[in-house]
Structures are given as structure tokens and as C-alpha cells.
């Protein structure tokens, strides 16, 4: 469903020097799969997502989504910050992304994310956890074929993040799409993903990947920690990562 082939991607420093961020970055994500990207801070993970979203276009390479002539119309994103318009309610923020609205589906989405009672709240009236739920609702409301998630649970306390991860998986499982998530949290990647891609330092590329064979329903805390140890043992990643 998603093919990323970036030969090179560079930025210009304040002195005008070229800083290469990505080099020979190649990977694919199967339809309806959930893939996570893990790598050092500043290696280009978010830049990769921006390239996929079309927010960065000055790179040598190609990004393709099968079956879509204009794949940007079928991609949605959940960012590190909810990015809700403060003068619009939760429901207005979600509806803003929609050309047509199936009221029953929208009602179901709000119910699944625990937002039914908060539809008329403004962003300033929400906790960070609820605001993140609104961001997730907006992303799924457009029925994307590809869902991009840039550290969607960062800065949340453990309990809130755990609840949101479970909610995300419930909504994603009910609405098939290809998901690609960036995270610094290896345990989080193990809990959610079918496959984990490990990026090198800058200029970044995929240095290893790990397929998770354990069914999600069997990924309790002990199983997740065992998978992490197996990842370390296979050399796909080191404890420092």
C-alpha cells in the first residue's frame, strides 16, 4: 500500500551548507498493516513522515500508494500536538476535514473514543488526553487509506497513554487502513505494531526490521518485555535505543 524510496534528502544550514538527513531510505508497508519507526533523536523520522504527507517535497526519490493517483487525498495524520482550532468545538474540528458526513458513522467514532459528551467542548476545555482523542477522531473521520502517527502519545502520563493506545487499536481494527507510526518508545511499538523499522543516525536509512509474530491479544506486559529482549538478542536494536 505504501512504498517509500528516498535516495537523498537534505536541508540547508544557516551558513548555507547542505545537511543530508535521509539517504537510501527504502521500505514498504503492506495494506492494513501497522508499522512503527524507531531510531535516534534527530535522525529524520519525522522528516520521513513529512515527505509522505507531502509537506516536504525537495527530495530525490519517490513515494507511492497503490491504487491512488493522488495519494494525499487518502492520507491523514495524528501529530505530536492535537492541532485543534481553538475557536471551534471538538465536533466542528472533526467535521472541518469532511466533504460529506455519515452521521451514524461519526456518532460511532465519537462513542468509541469516549468523546460523545465532549462534542460541544472547545479545545481549551479539554485535558491533553481528550484533545489527543479529538485529533485521532479527526484523522479517522476522513476514512484514510494511510494513517500517519507522529509520536501520538508523547508527553502523556503512563495511564493516559495506555488508555489511548487501546482506544487507537480498537478504532484502527474496526476501520482498515495502513498505519505508520514514529515513536521513541520501543515497548509502545511492540504493543501496537506488526513490524518495527529501526533507523540509523543521520543521514538515516533502515538498518534493521523486526516482524512481531505474537498475536496482539496475547501481548501482555510479560510478552512485550520478552519481545523486547528478543529484539536486543537478534541485534535489531540495542538497549540504548
- Write down the pLDDT at residue 234: 83
Higher confidence at residue 126 or residue 69? 126
Q: Dump pLDDT digits (tens) for 153-210.
A: 998 999 999 999 999 999 999 988 999 999 999 999 999 999 999 999 989 999 999 9
Q: Please state, in angstroms and as integers, the Cα–Cα distance from residue 140 to each residue in 86, 95, 124, 126, 169, following that order.
A: 20, 11, 22, 19, 12
pTM, entire model? 0.91
2-89+144-234 belongs to which CATH class?
A: alpha beta
Q: Which long-range contacts (CB under 8 A, 24 or more apart) does 151-159 make?
A: 151/80, 151/182, 151/183, 151/184, 152/78, 152/79, 152/80, 152/181, 153/183, 153/185, 153/188, 154/80, 154/184, 155/80, 155/128, 156/128, 156/129, 156/132
Inform me whether the pLDDT recorded for 44 exceeds 70: yes
What is the distance between the alpha carbons of residues 207 and 39, in angstroms, rounded to a whole number?
Answer: 10
Q: Per-residue b/e over 189-224, b at no fewer than 16 CB within 10 Å?
A: bbbbbbbbbbbbebbbbbeeebebeeeeeebeeeeb
Q: Dump pLDDT digits (tens) for 133-148.
A: 999 999 999 999 999 9
Q: Dump pLDDT digits (tens) for 88-140.
A: 999 999 999 888 888 999 999 999 999 999 999 999 999 999 999 999 999 99
Model confidence band, residue 5 (pLDDT cutoffs 50, 70, 90): very high
- Output DSSP code: residue 33: -
Inform me whether the pLDDT recorded for 19 exceeds 90: no
Inform me whether the pLDDT recorded for 73 exceeds 80: no
Inform me whether the pLDDT recorded for 238 exceeds 80: no
- Output DSSP code: residue 100: S
- Write down the pLDDT at residue 240: 53
Model confidence band, residue 70 (pLDDT cutoffs 50, 70, 90): very low
- Write down the pLDDT at residue 71: 42
Residue 39: exposure state from Cβ atoms within 10 A (0-12, 13-18, ≥19): buried
Higher confidence at residue 67 or residue 143? 143
- Write down the pLDDT at residue 72: 43
Strand partners, 76: 147
Amino acid at each position: 500500500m505504501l512504498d517509500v524510496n528516498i535516495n537523498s534528502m537534505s536541508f540547508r544550514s544557516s551558513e548555507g551548507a547542505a545537511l543530508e538527513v535521509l539517504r537510501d531510505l527504502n521500505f514498504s508497508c503492506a495494506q492494513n498493516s501497522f508499522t512503527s519507526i524507531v531510531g535516534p533523536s534527530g535522525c529524520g523520522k519525522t522528516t520521513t513522515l513529512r515527505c509522505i504527507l507531502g509537506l516536504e517535497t525537495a527530495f530525490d526519490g519517490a513515494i507511492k500508494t497503490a491504487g491512488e493517483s493522488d495519494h494525499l487525498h487518502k492520507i491523514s495524520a495524528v501529530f505530536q500536538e492535537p492541532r485543534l482550532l481553538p475557536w471551534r468545538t471538538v465536533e466542528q474540528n472533526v467535521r472541518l476535514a469532511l466533504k460529506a458526513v455519515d452521521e451514524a458513522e461519526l456518532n460511532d467514532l465519537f462513542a468509541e473514543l469516549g468523546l460523545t459528551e465532549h462534542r460541544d467542548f472547545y479545545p481549551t476545555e479539554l485535558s491533553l488526553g481528550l484533545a489527543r482523542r479529538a485529533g485521532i477522531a479527526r484523522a479517522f473521520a476522513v476514512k484514510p487509506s494511510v494513517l500517519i502517527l507522529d509520536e501520538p502519545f508523547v508527553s502523556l502520563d503512563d495511564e493516559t497513554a495506555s488508555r489511548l493506545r487501546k482506544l487507537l487499536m480498537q478504532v484502527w481494527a474496526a476501520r482498515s487502513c495502513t498505519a505508520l507510526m514514529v515513536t521513541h518508545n520501543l515497548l509502545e511499538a511492540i504493543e501496537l505494531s506488526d513490524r518495527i523499522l529501526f533507523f540509523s543516525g543521520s543521514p538515516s536509512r533502515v538498518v534493521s526490521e523486526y516482524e512481531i509474530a505474537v498475536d496482539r491479544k496475547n501481548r501482555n506486559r510479560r510478552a512485550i518485555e520478552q519481545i523486547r529482549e528478543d529484539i536486543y538478542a537478534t541485534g535489531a536494536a540495542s538497549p540504548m535505543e
